[in-house]
Structure 1
């Protein structure tokens, strides 16, 4: 069964990239149910979609299109083998550590019903690695390694608010009529820019990605 293994909330700490800021990348499993709602715009909104979570740098993170970050436990296990180190749930900064969900191969725009309290999420975009992520893990060359492996996990937007807890079932209730996955968008943004025009088939992509794809399509034309 596809389900939520853990719900992870930030343990605020000073950013390793800028000691004037706090970061919420250190996320740890929490016991009780967590309310999830749309946080509003990236800049000036509530940051995370999870009540009690923290987005430290709202210039680049958080907001409606990055309200919830999911990463598969199966992919964390694969990273443990590559890196030869333990990776606990939440260490990648994910809000939801999942089991039985191929998160990176989820279609942009597909919708998940999570649990039994009405929460509905929509797959919106891949996670792009940043310097804070690399400094947090203390792995030289981490941004390059994460990028070339191309297993980014998925950000989700909140369609219907609700609560989430460990053990909640994840059910895909709607899939769009295209083949643009989170992994395809990630590769187009980072490794294979020539793919960018093709991602316009996914209407649920955030506008900033659509603009990049349109510019690339214009140059190609």
Structure 2
């Protein structure tokens, strides 16, 4: 089968992972409806019925949907010695036969017959993710691997189901990939300069990275 959706996943507010509720614990469902939820802080998930509890750091237009490759879950399953079900990383889309981490920021995916998603940013690991995984040193290991999956905005809304085909409908010419933005975000100064020069990120993230680079270079 061509590149396709392996699973679509949503989460409900869950207690017990961290001190407050979180929506990171996601599980497969039959289909999801995706839409633009609005700016971060005012909008939640771009997936109907999916919980985003921490609106300061999650959700909104540029983090409307999160995608991870099934092959990446399989790699970690071998490394950790345990099965990883779809949704384990808190992703809404688990893909198959599609290298999410080769994505160029700004490229557009056509999913199924109507949905268009646009790649916006890497996922940056946090303490909630580490607590959910329950793996000592998880944030360091995930960062070292550098294959984070991709956040997406919803350019054309609609419904996504397992087995829907995924095609790259358009790719910008700058060539800056999701892992390169992640490296910049995590402290690679030279890559940060390149990412900033290409101006591939949303204005809010561009400003934050510029501020981080200024601090690193003091």
TM-score, structure 2 as length reference = 0.93
The 2-side partners of 1:15 and 1:199 are apart by 38
| 1:168-179 paired onto structure 2 within 5 Å | 168-179=164-175
In 2, are the aligned partners of 1:197 and 1:213 still within 8 Å (CA)?
Answer: no
* Residue of structure 2 equivalent to 1:35: 33
- Bigger mean CA deviation after superposition, 122-131 or 186-195: 186-195
Q: Tell me the CA shift for residue 44 of structure 1.
A: 2.1
3-state SS, counterpart of residue 201 of structure 2: coil
The 1-side partners of 2:45 and 2:161 are apart by 16
Q: Tell me the CA shift for residue 75 of structure 1.
A: 0.6
In 2, are the aligned partners of 1:150 and 1:183 still within 8 Å (CA)?
Answer: yes
The 1-side partners of 2:193 and 2:146 are apart by 19
- Bigger mean CA deviation after superposition, 189-198 or 105-114: 189-198
3-state SS, counterpart of residue 81 of structure 1: helix
* Residue of structure 2 equivalent to 1:4: 5
Q: Tell me the CA shift for residue 145 of structure 1.
A: 0.7
Counterpart of 1:195 (choices 191, 194, 208) is 191
Q: Tell me the CA shift for residue 219 of structure 1.
A: 8.1
In 2, are the aligned partners of 1:106 and 1:182 still within 8 Å (CA)?
Answer: yes
Query: What are the ranges of 5 or more consecutive residues in structure 1 without an aligned counterpart?
Result: none
Q: Tell me the CA shift for residue 203 of structure 1.
A: 4.0
- 1:78 matched to 2:78? The reply is no
- 1:100 matched to 2:97? The reply is yes
3-state SS, counterpart of residue 22 of structure 1: coil
The 2-side partners of 1:50 and 1:202 are apart by 30
Query: What are the ranges of 5 or more consecutive residues in structure 2 without an aligned counterpart?
Result: none
Q: Please, what is the CA RMSD of the aligned residues?
A: 1.9
Structure 1 residues 137 and 121: alpha-carbon distance in aligned structure 2, compared to 1, 3 A threshold: same
Structure 1 residues 208 and 141: alpha-carbon distance in aligned structure 2, compared to 1, 3 A threshold: same
TM-score, structure 1 as length reference = 0.92
In 2, are the aligned partners of 1:180 and 1:201 still within 8 Å (CA)?
Answer: no
Structure 1 residues 191 and 78: alpha-carbon distance in aligned structure 2, compared to 1, 3 A threshold: farther
| 1:1-221 paired onto structure 2 within 5 Å | 1-14=2-15, 16-18=17-19, 21-31=20-30, 33-45=31-43, 47-116=44-113, 118-215=114-211, 216=213
The 2-side partners of 1:219 and 1:134 are apart by 25
In 2, are the aligned partners of 1:39 and 1:63 still within 8 Å (CA)?
Answer: yes
3-state SS, counterpart of residue 23 of structure 1: coil
In 2, are the aligned partners of 1:8 and 1:30 still within 8 Å (CA)?
Answer: yes
3-state SS, counterpart of residue 169 of structure 2: strand
